[in-house]
């Protein structure tokens, strides 16, 4: 399973530095914008105060005009003095307020104030001239303040434009950098991620390189690599599971075919068994007559050596009769009973009989204890050993060779080995084991080893085929709990 990756060390330095830089630029832009707004607000307040100041000057000029008109119309003198007094109060307020622009405004206001103060001391013929002069000075002051106000507005407008351009110069790179970062570091990798997810639908589980990725998106793509690694492992496991299922299906199919072959062999063996039972039944009667005639003939011969040979022949006739009876019993599913006998004596007698069935160039060696009492079906064991010896002789093909029969007791188990120095067993026989009617020898029936295997299974033993070095074949039979 893919291991989890801790991304905190990856994000600690580069990502934080980039985030702090971006936040710093954004904060700088906000500070510049705030400063520009504050300055414009201050400019607006300043201009408003100057405009109010100009309006107040204009009001004073209007009052002076009204006073001049009153003097010209020669209205109530008390009202004239009251109007002058109010105008003087307004002029004092203008002088006290420093919201003027022109440096000469204060001086001119003081001049007008002095002229209006001295107005009561002037003769009536000169008051109109004083008022006219004061009104002229007020108009000059108003015009000069208006001119300076327009100049100030132009300066404020110019400064505002410069500040706006500066703010745009700061905001545009930040905005452009943010857009480029969003496009190349966010949108394009996300589009690549969409492409990678489409690859998953096509069962492409190859990981991607993360060297070119931004550290902010690195955890996403590292998680993607972990995911595709896990998916690749799951896909591999699924593929192996499918292959194992296929193997199991093939093995099951092969087992079914072998069972079919086994059934076919069983049918053939059943047919052979039926024929063998019929032959045994037909042969047993004439064989009994032959045995009786041979016994009568033996009584008439007095030669000891010939009598010994005839005794062996008589024993074989008895064994043949027993074998025929066993075949009939097997056809009736009655197994041979186990008896106690000397296996060494039985092997020696078997070798003496086998000498008459093989060529004289072959040697038979017997390696066995002087006495070996066993508890087994005797006729089956004799037939098994005879088949093994005759098979070894057939493998030597009538040439010179040695057949060795050895027995030993291992605890209570009996182990019998029959080997020769012939060409050995075929590879097919060693791989697939003993099967009836399968033989590699010309003229062979394939039943010799099958009968041996059947006897071994009947007594619960084991059989092993192997080849000797440098050449030769060996059959090892193990019979459990056979020794006494």
End position of a domain, from candidates 196, 218, 250: 196
Three-state SS string across 407-475, please? EEEECCEEEEEEEECCCCCCHHHHHHCCCCCCCCCCCCCCCHHHHHHHHHHHCCCEEEEEECCCCCEEE
The two three-digit tokens of residue 377, written as one number: 């079906």
Instruction: Please count the other Cβ atoms lying within 10 Å of the Cβ belonging to residue 201.
Output: 7
In a domain, 450, yes or no: yes
pLDDT at 276: 66
In a domain, 310, yes or no: no
Q: What is the pLDDT of residues 369-410, one digit of tens each?
A: 988 999 998 888 888 888 888 888 888 876 778 999 999 988
In a domain, 380, yes or no: yes
- What one-character-per-residue DSSP string does 73-108 give? HT--HHHHHHHHHHHHHHHHHHHH-----STTHHHH
In a domain, 77, yes or no: yes
CB contact set of 207 (below 8 Å; sequence gap of 6+): 224, 225, 228, 229
Beta bridge partners of 478: 415, 462
Q: Which pTM does this prediction carry?
A: 0.38
pLDDT at 406: 93
Distance CA 82, CA 123 (A): 18
Distance CA 455, CA 461 (A): 9
Distance CA 464, CA 459 (A): 15
In a domain, 127, yes or no: yes
In a domain, 299, yes or no: no
In a domain, 148, yes or no: yes
Instruction: Please count the other Cβ atoms lying within 10 Å of the Cβ belonging to residue 85.
Output: 11
Which residues, given as ranges, of the chain have pLDDT below 50?
1-12, 76, 78-79, 333, 443
In a domain, 67, yes or no: yes
End position of a domain, from candidates 196, 225, 241: 196
End position of a domain, from candidates 196, 218, 236: 196
Contacts for 204-210: CB closer than 8 Å, 24+ residues apart: 205/229, 205/231, 205/232, 205/235
Q: What is the pLDDT of residues 41-58, one digit of tens each?
A: 777 777 777 777 778 777
Closest by CA to 375, choosing from 421, 341, 408, is: 341
Range of the domain at 119: 8-196
pLDDT at 478: 92
**How many domains is the chain partitioned into structurally?**
2
pLDDT at 166: 77
pLDDT at 368: 92
CATH of the domain at 388: 3.30.565.10
């Amino acid at each position: 399973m893919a291991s989890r990756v801790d991304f905190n060390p990856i994000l600690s330095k580069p990502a934080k530095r980039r985030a702090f830089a971006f936040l710093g630029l954004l904060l700088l832009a906000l500070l510049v914008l705030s400063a520009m707004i504050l300055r414009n607000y201050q400019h607006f307040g300043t201009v408003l105060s100057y405009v109010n100041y100009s309006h107040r000057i204009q009001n004073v000029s209007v009052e002076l005009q009204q006073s001049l008109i009153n003097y010209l119309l020669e209205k109530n003198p008390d009202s004239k003095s009251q109007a002058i007094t109010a105008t003087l109060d307004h002029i004092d307020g203008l002088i006290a307020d420093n919201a003027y622009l022109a440096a000469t405004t204060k001086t001119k206001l003081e001049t007008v104030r002095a002229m209006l103060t001295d107005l009561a001391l002037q003769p009536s013929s000169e008051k109109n001239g004083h008022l006219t002069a004061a009104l002229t000075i007020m108009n000059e002051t108003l015009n000069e303040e208006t001119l300076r106000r327009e100049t100030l507005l132009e300066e404020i407008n110019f400064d505002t434009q410069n500040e706006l351009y500066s703010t745009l110069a700061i905001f545009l790179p930040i905005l452009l950098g943010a857009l480029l970062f969003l496009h190349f570091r966010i949108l394009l990798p996300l589009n690549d991620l969409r492409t990678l997810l489409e690859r998953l639908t096509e069962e492409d589980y190859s990981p991607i390189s993360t060297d070119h990725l931004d550290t902010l998106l690195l955890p996403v793509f590292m998680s993607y690599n972990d995911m595709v690694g896990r998916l690749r492992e799951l896909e591999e496991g699924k593929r192996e599971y499918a292959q194992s299922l296929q193997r199991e299906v093939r093995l099951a199919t092969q087992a079914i075919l072998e069972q079919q072959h086994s059934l076919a062999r069983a049918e053939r063996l059943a047919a052979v068994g039926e024929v063998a039972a019929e032959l045994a039944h037909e042969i047993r009667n004439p064989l009994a007559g032959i045995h009786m005639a041979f016994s009568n003939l033996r009584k008439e011969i007095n030669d000891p050596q010939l009598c010994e040979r005839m005794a062996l022949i008589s024993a074989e006739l008895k064994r043949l009769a027993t074998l025929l009876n066993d075949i009939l019993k097997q056809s009736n599913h009655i197994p041979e009973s186990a008896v106690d006998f000397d296996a060494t004596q039985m092997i020696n007698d078997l070798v003496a009989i086998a000498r008459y069935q093989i060529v004289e160039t072959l040697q038979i060696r017997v390696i066995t204890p002087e006495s070996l009492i066993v508890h087994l079906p005797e006729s089956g064991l004799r037939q098994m050993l005879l088949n093994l010896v005759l098979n070894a002789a057939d493998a030597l093909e009538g040439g010179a060779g040695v057949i060795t029969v050895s027995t030993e007791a291992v605890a209570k188990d009996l182990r019998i080995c029959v080997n020769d120095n012939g060409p050995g067993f075929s590879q097919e026989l060693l791989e697939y084991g003993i099967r009836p009617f399968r033989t590699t020898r010309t003229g062979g029936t394939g039943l010799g080893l099958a009968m041996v295997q059947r006897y071994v299974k009947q007594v619960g033993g084991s059989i092993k085929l192997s080849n000797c070095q440098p050449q030769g074949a060996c059959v090892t039979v193990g019979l459990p709990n056979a020794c006494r």
